[in-house]
Amino acid sequence: MTVVFAFLCLLLLPVIAEDSTRGGTRRRNDFVVNVDAFGAVGDGVADDTQAFLGAWQQACSSPKSVFLVPEGQRYRVNATKFVGPCTDTIVIQIDGTVVAPDDPQSWDPRDQRAWLAFHNLSMAAFQGNGVIDGSGSKWWAASCKKNKTNPCRAAPTAFTIESSSSIRVKGLTIQNGQQINFAVSRSDSVRVTGLKVTSPEDSPNTDGIHISESTKVLLQNCKIGTGDDCISIVSASSSIRMKNIYCGPGHGISIGSIGKNNSTGRVEKGGSGFVRSVRYQRVTMENVSNPIIIDQFYCDSPTACQNQTSAVEISRIMFQDITGTSRTKEAIKFACSDTVPCTDIYLKDINLQGEDAKVETFCNSVSGSQLGFVQPSAECLSASNSSTTTIREGEEVWATENHLSTIISDEEPPGFTNS
């Protein structure tokens, strides 16, 4: 009898201690679900995958919850899908470090596309001072770009937000991605502020932020230094706005690259689709390859790519207030296909200098115009055709401002609490 009673007490104690809620505590109006309460060890060695999944299930099915990764700890988590929809708004508070297992051999060979992937969420906020670390070094060494004898295989994207809407990401650090560091895919209304992304300059295909099939995305006050594109935007994306971005080292801000199929596993070769209404504003580049690049021919596969028969249709792109240094001669490169020209491409107040040599602008099959001071000059933009609309100084180019106002405003989206 005593034994049974003691056993019951043991079962009940943690529940009472945690404010009559299973595996969580209530803080103000939020229901906080700490991964530690689900058995996470946080020593960087133990496998904390199950604890994260358990905590996710609890948090996602509770109203006004906070999924908490506490600070000062290092949690090792396998490739995991965190799937919504959740009952209510959810805050993913990452204050500690989440690390991936570093050995590619230990990954499930059937699913090597993503490490931490959040699917089908609505009204979710990712925030905190924590670090998401893909531990990518062994993946980089196994890349065919590092060693031609290696087979070309896609490596995981470290952090993915997919098929989601009304998402806020604030303040996190994402580093050492196995391949792409942060992907926003098939999502709308995504606001990313104060994000830091770092991967070594010689790590292959480690794009900073990769946006595909998404609309209404705002990136603001981000610092990105990787081995590949700072920010890349591909098929079926529109109303993207970037403001106060620092890029370097790495490549520039790229639009429409195709033929990355085997390396980043994201874009179909010869993939069709569109990218439109994108505005870059106040971007600083330091020692970056092709700081501004639109490339419909881009192909980094080890075997030669065929010329594309169809390409991503690219229009209404504004580059404004872009300054810094280019590592390559072509500081600005618009390589558009003859079958699908790029239209309405605008440059305004650009100052890109070479590290030591003169830099230039390359144009193929592109139309648009330049305003204000543009260095290197891009006469080739307006020269290629005069049929498209020209804009005057000070004129707003397109109406994405309105569409974006909801995510651009400094007010927090409804339902979110600051912490």
Give the contact letters, 115-144, x = binds to ligand NAG (CB under 6 A), - = no.
-----x-x----------------------
**Is 95 or 268 the residue whose CB approaches ligand NAG more closely?**
268
**φ, ψ for residue 137 (rounded to 5)?**
-55, -40
241-252 core/surface letters (b: 16 or more CB in 10 A; e: else)? bbbbbbbbbbbb
Active site residue 251: yes
In the bound complex, what is the minimum distance in angstroms from residue 336's beta carbon to ligand NAG? 7
| Other CB atoms within 10 Å distance of the CB of residue 86 | 21
Nearest to 196 by CA among 217, 226, 168: 226
47 in contact with ligand NAG (CB under 6 A):
yes
Q: Binders of ligand NAG among 144-173, rule CB under 6 A?
A: 147, 149, 152, 154
- Considering Cα of 270, then 271, then 274, then 275, what sign does the dihedral take? negative
Considering only 21, 25, 49, 375, the residue that binds ligand NAG (CB under 6 A) is: 49
Number of residues that bind ligand NAG (CB under 6 A): 31
Considering only 256, 265, 324, 376, the residue that binds ligand NAG (CB under 6 A) is: 265
Considering only 61, 87, 106, 409, the residue that binds ligand NAG (CB under 6 A) is: 106
Q: Collect all residues with Cβ–Cβ distance below 8 Å to 191 and sequence separation of at least 6.
A: 167, 168, 169, 217, 218, 220, 407, 408, 413
Residue whose tokens read 């993913």: 92
21 in contact with ligand NAG (CB under 6 A):
no
**φ, ψ for residue 284 (rounded to 5)?**
-105, 130
In the bound complex, what is the minimum distance in angstroms from residue 269's beta carbon to ligand NAG? 5
Instruction: Tell me the C-alpha distance between 18 and 32, whole Å.
Output: 10
Q: Which amino acid is at 386?
A: S
28-49 core/surface letters (b: 16 or more CB in 10 A; e: else)? eebbbbbbbbbebbbeeeeebb
251 in contact with ligand NAG (CB under 6 A):
no
**What are the Cα distances from residue 349, in Å, to 122, 346, 369, 372, 395?**
37, 10, 12, 5, 14
Q: Binders of ligand NAG among 210-249, rule CB under 6 A?
A: none
**Is 117 or 195 the residue whose CB approaches ligand NAG more closely?**
117
Considering only 54, 85, 200, 354, the residue that binds ligand NAG (CB under 6 A) is: 85
Instruction: Tell me the C-alpha distance between 379 and 340, whole Å.
Output: 20
In the bound complex, what is the minimum distance in angstroms from residue 333's beta carbon to ligand NAG? 13
Q: Binders of ligand NAG among 54-83, rule CB under 6 A?
A: 78
Considering only 61, 339, 385, 417, the residue that binds ligand NAG (CB under 6 A) is: 385
**What are the Cα distances from residue 188, in Å, to 164, 165, 191, 192?**
7, 5, 9, 12
**φ, ψ for residue 342 (rounded to 5)?**
-90, 135
Q: Binders of ligand NAG among 300-359, rule CB under 6 A?
A: 301, 303, 307, 327, 338, 341, 355
**Is 128 or 273 the residue whose CB approaches ligand NAG more closely?**
273
Tokens found for residue 360: 């230039």
In the bound complex, what is the minimum distance in angstroms from residue 341's beta carbon to ligand NAG? 4
In the bound complex, what is the minimum distance in angstroms from residue 72's beta carbon to ligand NAG? 23
Options 119, 210, 251, 403, the catalytic residue: 251
Residue pair 258/220 in contact by the 8 Å Cβ criterion? no
- Give catalytic residue positions: 251
Q: Contact positions toward ligand NAG, by CB under 6 A?
A: 47, 49-50, 78, 85, 101, 106, 120, 122, 147, 149, 152, 154, 201, 261-262, 265, 268-269, 287, 301, 303, 307, 327, 338, 341, 355, 365, 367, 384-385
